[in-house]
Amino acid sequence: MKKVIFVTTILILLSVLFAFAITVIAAAIISEPSFETVSNWTYSETDADWSGAQSGVWKTQGSYSYLFSSSNVNLGNGTYCQILQSVDFTSIDTISFDARLYVNSGTKCQARCVVGAATVWSQILPLTETDYLHQEVDVSGYTGSQDLIFQVITTGTHPTATCLSYFDNIKIWGSYSNPARTTVSNDFTTYGDIVYMYGENFDTTGTYKVAYYDGGTLHDGAGGTKLQTDTYTDDTDGILDQCLCRPADYGASSYGTWHAVVYKTTGTMPASYDLVSKADSAYVVTDSFTVQQAAIPEFPTVIASIVVAGICFGIFYWFRKRKREAVKA
């Protein structure tokens, strides 16, 4: 009896530790990614004619975006306004965000996303208000604590400038080599490798579909075939951390550049990757990774299992038949 109680106690403790580990894994990497609050962001400017604040005029998630603006002022070369947050990029693969940009004249205003000192995304402000949705940036090459910066900067003297630059809906989505989703991997080389996906800042009441598209005929991912679709209901933390696939379950010809695409369940996921469109209202985000030929067997695992099961049944049936014949004799 004591032994049973001891084992039960150990199992309960392990369950608690496991639950704690999951909680740690699920902690958000980027704070306030949809700018509903901005206490963890730091605003700065180099010219008092710039301003930055939350705005409810345009947004793609929640009630607010963040707006940088100037109004009919003369902006000198190299002046900027920005917000930043210190982020640990070690476990981030891809970030996605939305923007709406406008300037009344000229081409000397530029919106940027910066990691540390590196500009990872930039766009010259257009002369008509234009939405730039699902801007996906590979940041897997950055590690450690870096400043994540959203910025508007002049690249020359800009007279009588009226600029509007909104940012919203920052998401993380990427592929990992370990169940804890802490080791970013964009290259799967070994048979049996599992691709673990992880995402942040999804709607807390949303239901999502994740589809995996293979490398296609040319193995460059352009015409990849949809191999697997899973449905996930997000919980209250806005994190998707149960998504995974095993490339070895599919045919040898499927190696190459794969894509993991997230859609809202209101949409229909295309059969081929070249039909996936960011203009689709159900589209959310995409991440790409490489599956090497060595990671996929000549025959898919499922087919191999069927073949093995068939052989075992054949052997069993043969022995059973011989036994019956021996009894009759």
Q: How far is CA 3 from CA 13, 52, 129, 210, in A?
A: 15, 64, 71, 45
The model's pTM: 0.82
Backbone dihedral angles phi then psi of residue 59, each to the nearest 5 degrees: -160, 155
Residues of the chain with CATH 2.60.120.200: 42-170
- DSSP assignment, residue 8? H
**Of 118, 122, 117, nearest in space to 132 by CA:** 122
State the Cα–Cα distance between residues 86 and 91, nearest whole angstrom: 14
State the average pLDDT over residues 130-145: 97
CATH fold for the domain made of 42-170: Jelly Rolls (2.60.120)
- How confident is the model over 52-106, as pLDDT tens digits? 999 999 999 999 999 999 988 888 899 999 999 999 999 999 999 999 999 998 8
Where does 177-295 sit in CATH, by number? 2.60.40.1930
Count of beta carbons in the 10 Å neighbourhood of residue 44: 13
Q: Given pLDDT bands bounded at 50, 70 and 90, which one contains residue 238?
A: confident
Residues of the chain with CATH 2.60.40.1930: 177-295
Mean per-residue pLDDT of the chain? 86
Which residues 6+ apart lie within 8 Å of 276 measured at CB?
A: 213, 259, 261, 269, 270, 283, 286
